[in-house]
Structure 1
Amino acid sequence: MPPRSSGCATCRKRKIRCDESRPGCKRCETHNVSCPGYRTDTPGLIQFKDQTTITVKRAKDQYRARQALGRGGSSPALVASNGWTITDSSSPEWLEAESFPTSAGWTDTTTTNSPGWSVLETWPTPESMSGLSPASSFTDYTGSPGFVIEESLTPNGSLILTKSAFRTKQNVQFPISISLLPSPALERRALYASFIDTYLPRIAGTAQNGHFDFYHTIALETSHQPALQASMDALSLVQMGSLHHDKAILKQAVRQYSVALGALGRSIRKNDFLYDDDVLAAVVVLAACELYEEIASMGEGWGQHIQGSNQLVALRGPQSLRSELALLFYSSMRHGSLIHALIARKEPFMATKEWRDVAFRVPNASKDASTKFYDLAIQIPGLLQQHDELDLDSPTALQSIEAILAHSATLESELHDWYTSWQDRAFAGYSILPINSFPTFCALCSDRTFTYAFTFPDFLHAYLHSLHWMVMHYLRTNTQSLHKHRHHLDRDWFPSAEEDVSEEELLGYVLNLCQCIPFFVEPISSSTGSIAVFLPMRCAALYFMAHGHWAWLRWVGNVKNSVFVKGLVPPAVRPDMRKVLPGP
C-alpha cells in the first residue's frame, strides 16, 4: 500500500506535491485559495490544534462575500436558499465535493452547487436538524450583525455548532463545523460551556454556591497546569458522551482521564506542587470524573480521590488558601468530603475550628445558604466515629457517652435554628405534588409506591433540604444508639421525653429523602441531580433493610435500576457487615 499523503486536501486533489508549510501551504496561497489544512493524525478523535490563521481567512472571505452581496457588487454571486452566498470558485479543482478532517475531528465539506460555481459552506436543511437542542451562545467571530453561534448536539450526541440568523422574527439555524471557531481555546470553551449547561442546574434568584462557582471559574480561566486542563477535558467529555450515549466521545474522555492522571503524577513529583492551586483543583475534578460509569470502571475510585485531595489540602494548612481558586476548590471539595465522611463514619480534617473558618472566606460565602449549614454538618461524622470507638468496658465509658450526647444536643439545636432561619429568610419552603407532576421520573420509573413527591424552587433548595434531613437522620440515629448504651451502663437511667428519639422521627427523615428523588431526576436538576440522589438512596435502603420495610426497599431498587440513564453511577461503598452500626 502506498504511504498515506500528509499534504493538504487541495494539493492531494490536484495530485501535486504539497510543501506542507504552516499554517497553510504556499501552493494554495499562489492560487489565491484558502488552504484547508492537513490530515488529522488520529481520525475520529477530538484534537485541539491551532488553525487560527486559516479559519480567520476563511471567515473574512465569507464576510467579504456577504458584504459584496449586500452592496450589490458586480462579482458573480448567487444566494442559496438558506441565505448564504454562493460565489464563483477561483479554482476549477474545487468543483468536486471533498471532506477534510477538521481540528476537532469533525468534517467540513465544500461541495459543488452547479458547474462553475461552488458553495462557500454547505448546510443541511432546518428539517434535517429537528433533533438539535441549542445551548450556550457565543458572538459570531466574523463580527457580522444579526448572527450568533450556538452549541448543539445531534440526536446521536455529536457536537455541532449552530449559526442563528435573526433576519426575521423566527430564528433560522444552520450547523457549522466546530473548526470555524478561530482557536483551540474557543473550541475548548465551547466544550466547557456544554458541560456547564448540562452538569450544573440553574439556581433561582441571587442564590450563591461555592461548588457551582468553582466549576464556572475553572471553565472560564486558562490554566498553566496540564493536569487541570486535561481533567476538565475529561470531565466535560464524559459528561457530554454519557448524556448523549456517544461512544466516540466516551472513548476520548477515558483517554483524557489517563492523560490527566499522568500529568497529575508528574506535577506531584515536583517539590513545589503542594502550593499549586491548579494541581489540587485537578484532583477535585478527577473525583467528579469517577462518578461516571465509563471512568469508574477503570479509575482509582471516587473515595480515593476524595481522600487524596483531603490529605493534600490538610498538608498545606488553612492559612495557605488565599487565592479565589483555592477557596473555591476548598468549598467544592467540602461537599464530597461531608458525604464521604458520613459513609466512612470518620471525622474529616475540615471539622476543626480553624478549617471551618476557612469556609467563611470563600467568595460569596455570606450569600451562600449552605455556608453555616456545612459548618455544623461537618462535625457530625466525628460524633459517629466517637460512638464507634466507644469502649463500654472502660471505667470512663459513661463520661464519654455523656460528652458525645452533650455535643450532639448542641449540634441538633443549632441545626434546627439554621433550618428555621433559612426557611424564613429565603422562603425555602417546598410543596407536595402528585407523582405524575414529575414526567421525566415517571417515564423512567414505573414503580408508584410513592404517589406524591416534593417540589422546590430550584435544585439548591432541594439539595439543602435533603442534606439537612440526611444529617439529622445520622445524628439522631447516633443519639438513639448512645441512649441504649447509656441505659446499658446504668439500668436506672432513661432519656427524657424531649431527648427521646422515636422510630417515627427517623422514618420521617428517610421518607422525606425518598420524596426528594423525583425532583432530582427532572431536567431542572441537570446531571448534578443524579449525583444528589446517591446518598439519600443509600441511606434509605439501609434503613428499610434494617427495619424490614420491603416494599419501600424494593422501590429504592427499582429507582436505582431505572433513573441512572446519564452514565452516572453511585460510588462503590460496601458497609462493614461484621459490625452492627447505628445507622447507614
Structure 2
Amino acid sequence: MVYGGKPSTGCYLCRKRKIKCDEAQPECRNCIIYGRPCPGYRPDAVFRNETRKIERLVKSGNSASNNSSSGSNSGSQGHTPGSDSSVIVARRRHHGSIQSKPTLTLYSPADADWEQRALCYFFDQFTIQADEEDGGHLDYLPPLYAREIGRQGGNAPSSCLRWAVDATALMTLANAKNASPLMNKARLGYGKALRSLQEALASPAHAVKDETFASVVLLSLYEDISGERNGLFSSHTAGFEFLMKLRGEGQMDHRRGRDMFNFAYTHLYVEILALGDKPRFDGDWVVGMLDSNNPVERLMLTAPSISQLFTSMRRAPPPDQATVEAWIAAGLECDAELAQWTQTLPDRWLPLFVYSDQGEPLMTYNRISIALVWNYYRAVRVMLHQLLLSLHGSLAAIRMQSSFTSTFKPPITQPGDSTPETSIRATIRELTTEVCRGLPFCLSDVDSLGRPTKTVGEWQTRAAQGYGLLWPLWYLLSCGMPTLAQVEQIRTVLYRVGSKHGIKLALVLAREAERIRGEQHTEVRVVNSV
C-alpha cells in the first residue's frame, strides 16, 4: 500500500465533470444547479495497492530493454548519417506530446464536459446570491434553469431559457479561454434560443412566465458578452418594453420578478439617457410599482423625469430665451432630486474616504455592489450637468444675439467672477474624480480600508461586477471631463474587463469612447483655428 497524495475531495459528480467543487454541506452548489442529489465527498487521504502495477512495469521494462539491445545491434550494421538526429527529434516530439496538456481550443465542442464547465463558470461569474444587505445579481437563474431541464426536453416553447443559458454560458467560457469551437456552438444555441423565444412570445400562457423574461435578460447579456450589439444599441430593448408592460404589476409581487424588472428597467434607461434613444412607452405607470425605501429603486425613480426633459429638448423647434430658461429650471430641479438621494441613504451605503499605502486618496464602500450603484448615480448627474452646460451656452448665445438688436447689454464678467458654467464644470470634474477614486475598490485591488488585497489568482473581481462598471465608465470617458491620467485609468479598466472576463462590450465601448473623444478634439481645433 502506498500513499496516493492528497486527492481532490470534491463530490463524485464534480470530479467526473472536472469542475471545481465548493464541498458545501449538505450539497455542493454545482449539484444544486443541475438538480441532482450530491453523492458526497471522499476522505482527504487515499491509499492504493500498487503491487500489480509495479509488476507490470518491471515486465514491460525487461521486454523493452531486450528489444532495444537487439535493435541497437541491427541498427549498427545499417547506420545512416541522419538516423541519430531523426530518432532524437522523434523522441523529443513524443516526450513533448506526453508532457504538454492540450489547450481548450483542441477539444471538440461536442464534448459534454465543456458544456457543463461552461455552465458552472457562467453561474459562478455572473450570479451573486442575495442576502439581507445585497440584492444579488441574476441569482434567480440557477433554480429556474434546474427546474427547466428537469421538467421538459428541448422542444417546448419554454425551452428558450435552457437554450439561452447554454448559449450565454458557452460564449462566456469561450471568450475567457479564447476557444473558437465553443463560440461557434454558442452562436448556434443563440439562434435556437431566439426561435424558441418567438414561440414563447406567441403563446399568451408562456409570454408572461418568468422563464420567458429571464430568457430576454440572458439574450441581452449574450449580446454584451459577445460584443455583437447593433452599434451600441441592444436588439432586445423592444422585448424588454413589451414584457414589462405585458406582465404588469403582478411581476413586482415576488423578488424574482422584481429583480428581472429592475435589470430590464436599467437596460432601457441606459439607452434612453446615455445613447439618446427615445422611450417607446409612458414610464409614469412604473412609478407606483417601485419602492422608495429601497436605495436602488429610489434612484430608478429619478430616471423618468430626466428622460422627459431630454426628450422634450430633442423634439422642440429652435428655442427662444424663455424656453431655454424653463429647461434650465427643470434640469436644476432634477439635479436637486438626484442630490437628495445621497441624503437619505442608510449608513452602510455611504462611501469611505481612505488612503492607499502610497498615500493616494481612495473611495471605498461596504460592498462592491453599492459602489456600482454610486457610479450610476454619478454618471447620471454628469449627463444632467452636461445638459445644463449646453443650455447655458445656448442661453448666452441668445442673449448675445438679442444685444445686437436691442438696447439690452449683457453683464460683463471679470476673469475672477464665478459663472454657472464654471460651477457646472467643477461639479463634473468632481464627480469624475470620485468614480476614479473608487475603481481600485471596484476591481478588488484594495479592501474597504484601502489595503492591498491578498489574492490567490490574478484577479478576484467577478464578471458580474466588471459588467456593472461598463456604462458609467463609458459615459465619463466619452462625454465627461476626465484628466489625461483619468482617461488612461478608465480605458485600462475597460480593456481589463474585456480581456480578463471576456465581456467584449467593454472593448467596443472603449473604442467608441476613443472615437468620440477624437471627434471632440477635432471640433475644438477647428473652432480655435477659426
TM over 0.5: yes
Equivalent residue in structure 2 for 1:553, among 480, 487, 509: 487
SS of 2:199's equivalent in the other structure is helix
Q: How does 1:285-434 map to 2 (within 5 A)?
A: 285-292=218-225, 295-297=226-228, 303-313=233-243, 316=246, 318-319=248-249, 321=251, 324=254, 325-348=256-279, 352-360=283-291, 366=293, 368-392=294-318, 394=319, 397-422=320-345, 424-434=346-356
Equivalent residue in structure 1 for 2:172, among 230, 239, 242: 239
| Aligned-partner residue type, residue 511 of structure 1 | T
SS of 1:358's equivalent in the other structure is coil
Q: Does structure 2 retain, via aligned residues, the 8 Å contact 1:213–1:328?
A: no
Q: How does 1:143-154 map to 2 (within 5 A)?
A: none
Equivalent residue in structure 2 for 1:566, among 487, 501, 508: 501
Say yes or no: does 1:514 pair with 2:436.
yes
Relative to 1, partners in 2 of residues 1:296 and 1:421: Cα closer, same or farther, differing over 3 Å?
Answer: same
Residues 61-108 of structure 1: CA deviation (Å, up to 9, x unaligned): xxxxxxxxxxxxxxxxx9995899xxxxxxxxxxxxxxxxx999x979
Q: Does structure 2 retain, via aligned residues, the 8 Å contact 1:237–1:249?
A: yes
Residue 486 of structure 1: aligned partner: 395
Residue 447 of structure 2: aligned partner: none
Q: How does 1:33-72 map to 2 (within 5 A)?
A: none
Residues 107-159 of structure 1: CA deviation (Å, up to 9, x unaligned): 79xxxxxxxxxxxxxxxxxxxx9xx854474746xxxxxxx6868xxxxxxxx
Residue 540 of structure 1: aligned partner: 476
Residue 254 of structure 1: aligned partner: 187
Residues 222-261 of structure 1: CA deviation (Å, up to 9, x unaligned): 3771111211222233334444555555444333222212
Relative to 1, partners in 2 of residues 1:329 and 1:559: Cα closer, same or farther, differing over 3 Å?
Answer: closer
Identity %: 12
Q: Could you tell me how far 1:307 is from its partner in structure 2?
A: 1.7
Equivalent residue in structure 1 for 2:466, among 527, 530, 546: 530
> Within 1, Cα distance between the matches of 2:250 and 2:221?
24
> Within 2, Cα distance between the matches of 1:321 and 1:468?
25
| Aligned-partner residue type, residue 461 of structure 1 | I
Q: Could you tell me how far 1:339 is from its partner in structure 2?
A: 1.8
Residue 124 of structure 2: aligned partner: 197
**Range with greater deviation from structure 2 (279-288 or 466-475):** 279-288
> Within 1, Cα distance between the matches of 2:144 and 2:329?
42
Q: Does structure 2 retain, via aligned residues, the 8 Å contact 1:283–1:305?
A: no
Q: Does structure 2 retain, via aligned residues, the 8 Å contact 1:150–1:164?
A: no
Equivalent residue in structure 2 for 1:228, among 148, 155, 161: 161
> Within 2, Cα distance between the matches of 1:79 and 1:134?
26
Equivalent residue in structure 1 for 2:363, among 454, 458, 471: 454
Q: How does 1:128-277 map to 2 (within 5 A)?
A: 134-135=21-22, 137=24, 139=26, 164-165=41-42, 194-201=121-128, 206-209=132-135, 211-215=137-141, 218-219=144-145, 221-222=147-148, 225-245=158-178, 249-270=182-203, 274-277=207-210
Say yes or no: does 1:470 pair with 2:379.
yes
Q: Does structure 2 retain, via aligned residues, the 8 Å contact 1:531–1:568?
A: yes
Relative to 1, partners in 2 of residues 1:380 and 1:431: Cα closer, same or farther, differing over 3 Å?
Answer: same
What RMSD over aligned residues (CA atoms) do the two structures have, in Å? 4.6
**Range with greater deviation from structure 2 (472-481 or 496-505):** 496-505
Relative to 1, partners in 2 of residues 1:322 and 1:472: Cα closer, same or farther, differing over 3 Å?
Answer: closer
Residues 171-197 of structure 1: CA deviation (Å, up to 9, x unaligned): xxxxxxxxxxxxxxxx99997565333
Relative to 1, partners in 2 of residues 1:189 and 1:301: Cα closer, same or farther, differing over 3 Å?
Answer: farther
Relative to 1, partners in 2 of residues 1:527 and 1:512: Cα closer, same or farther, differing over 3 Å?
Answer: same
Q: Does structure 2 retain, via aligned residues, the 8 Å contact 1:331–1:359?
A: no
Relative to 1, partners in 2 of residues 1:189 and 1:420: Cα closer, same or farther, differing over 3 Å?
Answer: farther
Residues 21-48 of structure 1: CA deviation (Å, up to 9, x unaligned): xxxxxxxxxxxxxxxxxxxxxxxxxxxx
SS of 2:273's equivalent in the other structure is helix
Q: Does structure 1 retain, via aligned residues, the 8 Å contact 2:170–2:182?
A: yes
* Unmatched tracts of structure 1, length 5 or more: 1-77, 85-101, 109-128, 141-147, 152-160, 171-186, 438-450
Relative to 1, partners in 2 of residues 1:353 and 1:149: Cα closer, same or farther, differing over 3 Å?
Answer: closer
> Within 2, Cα distance between the matches of 1:226 and 1:308?
21
> Within 2, Cα distance between the matches of 1:202 and 1:268?
29
| Aligned-partner residue type, residue 300 of structure 2 | Y
> Within 2, Cα distance between the matches of 1:506 and 1:476?
7
| Aligned-partner residue type, residue 570 of structure 1 | L
* Unmatched tracts of structure 2, length 5 or more: 32-37, 47-113, 153-157, 401-408, 445-458, 521-530
| Aligned-partner residue type, residue 312 of structure 1 | F
SS of 2:505's equivalent in the other structure is coil
> Within 1, Cα distance between the matches of 2:29 and 2:278?
48
Q: Could you tell me how far 1:370 is from its partner in structure 2?
A: 0.4
SS of 1:345's equivalent in the other structure is coil
Relative to 1, partners in 2 of residues 1:318 and 1:562: Cα closer, same or farther, differing over 3 Å?
Answer: closer
- TM-score under structure 2 normalisation? 0.62
Q: Does structure 1 retain, via aligned residues, the 8 Å contact 2:141–2:214?
A: no
SS of 1:232's equivalent in the other structure is helix
Relative to 1, partners in 2 of residues 1:511 and 1:524: Cα closer, same or farther, differing over 3 Å?
Answer: same
- TM-score under structure 1 normalisation? 0.57
> Within 2, Cα distance between the matches of 1:391 and 1:220?
54
Q: Does structure 1 retain, via aligned residues, the 8 Å contact 2:163–2:193?
A: yes
Relative to 1, partners in 2 of residues 1:369 and 1:229: Cα closer, same or farther, differing over 3 Å?
Answer: same
Q: Could you tell me how far 1:459 is from its partner in structure 2?
A: 1.4
Residue 211 of structure 2: aligned partner: 278
User: Which is strand-richer, 1 or 2?
Assistant: 1
